[in-house]
Amino acid sequence: MSRSAPAAGSAHGAEPPGGSSPGLVVVARELVPLCGDAPRWPGGRETRFVAADEPLPGGYLARRVEAIIPLLSRPIGAAELDALPGLRIVSNYAVGYDNVDVAAAAERGIVVCNTPDVLTSATADLTWALILAAARRLREGLDLARSGDWAGWRPDELLGMGLEEKTLGILGAGRIGSAVARRAPGFGMRVVYWNLAPNEILEREIGARRADTLGEVLSVCDVLSVHLPLTADTDGLLGEAELVRLRPGAVLVNTARGEIVDTEALAAALRQGRLGAAGLDVYPDEPAIPAELRELPNAFVLPHLGSATREARRGMWELAAVNVRRVLEGRPPLTPVG
Ligand code: DGY
């Protein structure tokens, strides 16, 4: 099946479909605090807010939908695309777009966009918050401080891992992985990265070294930080066989997607003390955070806060909305994927 792609260069944009009824832009209702309740679209198209757990418009309304700005929790597959015959753009409110079937969209001439760059610093900063929290046992320190049972300073209390002179392993040296790596010299850390293509800028800027294999990064790093997109190749990439290759006491941090790390294998490694600690922001079945990870003292878990700064979330809205406006005006979007 194919639909015509937006006409490039049209000054006035295409007429909304559905006769005299204006086209619709479906926006995740959770975005109202960022975009207000009346975002403006070209050609008088209207907004329909739909919460993440509500169905997309059906019936006669479905034919009017030209654009959708979903959260990462809404799967957009072939069935959703087919139910919206006038759809021209899925402007995902996230940099990751594993919730969208990009190939199915391309087959139907629908543009898919994401929100890169605007959340890079926020996510890199939170990654470092997790590296520090995990390496320095902040969860146990917080629990002890709050318990009222602290007996006073002791030379051997809650000793963690010092970062200076240690090696940070980066899986995926794209925008966020590179931003995390760039912060490493400030902590006196070396960087080894694993990426399909060499990242010469990172090598030049901070002397990062590219590993030939995943196994090589795993065996040399003290802290491993995951920054890969979720794809068929990365789903379950770090299972038991990979985690045993990490150095005893190593720290694993994941701010990418939960599915990349096998939760049971990770929990076992943490329980047995083979891994020193983990700092986690993402989980395979969000919003569920596996009970074992919530309970283990050496797991520092957060509820998917990587991009949660006012600046980043605002920037994500602006970029997602610009992409919609451009496509509705017949211009190329700024950040298409696929
Ligand atoms: C993303 O954008 O993919 C993050 O997971 C949420 O900001």
Residue 282 in tokens: 């993402």
- Full set of structural domains in the chain with CATH: 24-118+312-328 (3.40.50.720), 120-301 (3.40.50.720)
Calculate the average pLDDT of the chain.
94
311-330: pLDDT as tens digits: 999 999 999 999 999 999 99
Residue 93 has pLDDT above 60, yes or no: yes
pLDDT at 9: 30
Euclidean distance between the first and the last CA atom of the chain, given in angstroms as a whole number: 18
pLDDT at 19: 57
User: Is the CB of residue 306 below 6 angstroms from any atom belonging to ligand 1?
Assistant: yes
* Residues sharing a CB contact under 8 Å with residue 211, sequence separation 6 or more, in sequence order: 169, 192, 193, 194, 217, 220
Do the Cβ atoms of 73 and 99 come closer than 8 Å? Answer: yes
State the pTM of this model: 0.93
> What is the arrangement of strands in the sheet containing 299-301, beginning at the earlier edge strand?
209-210, 190-194, 167-171, 223-226, 250-254, 275-280, 299-301
176 pLDDT tier (thresholds 50, 70, 90) = very high
User: CA gyration radius for the chain?
Assistant: 22
Residue 337 in tokens: 């994927």
What positions carry a catalytic annotation?
257, 286, 304
Ligand 1 atom index nearest CA of 93:
2
User: Where are the extended beta strands (E) located within 30-165?
Assistant: 46-50, 65-69, 89-91, 111-113
> With 0-12 CB in 10 A as exposed, 13-18 as middle and 19+ as buried, what is 282?
buried
- Residue among 30, 95, 280 to mutate when testing ligand 1 (max atoms within 8 A of CB): 95
Angstrom distances, CA of residue 329 to CA of 40, 49, 94, 103, 214: 13, 21, 22, 23, 44
Residue 317 in tokens: 């809205």
What percent of the chain stands above pLDDT 70?
A: 94
Nearest to 272 by CA among 240, 300, 301, 294: 240
Do the Cβ atoms of 81 and 104 come closer than 8 Å? Answer: yes
103-120: pLDDT as tens digits: 999 999 999 999 999 999
Do the Cβ atoms of 145 and 295 come closer than 8 Å? Answer: no
123-153: pLDDT as tens digits: 999 999 999 999 999 999 999 999 999 999 9
226-253: pLDDT as tens digits: 999 999 999 999 999 999 999 999 999 9
Residue 7 has pLDDT above 90, yes or no: no
User: Is the CB of residue 315 below 6 angstroms from any atom belonging to ligand 1?
Assistant: no
Residue 15 has pLDDT above 50, yes or no: no
Residue 135 in tokens: 């390496």
User: Is the CB of residue 95 below 6 angstroms from any atom belonging to ligand 1?
Assistant: yes
Mean pLDDT of 68-81: 98
Residue 4 has pLDDT above 60, yes or no: no
Ligand 1 atom index nearest CA of 97:
3
Candidate from 19-28, 35-44, 194-203, 245-254 with smallest mean pLDDT: 19-28
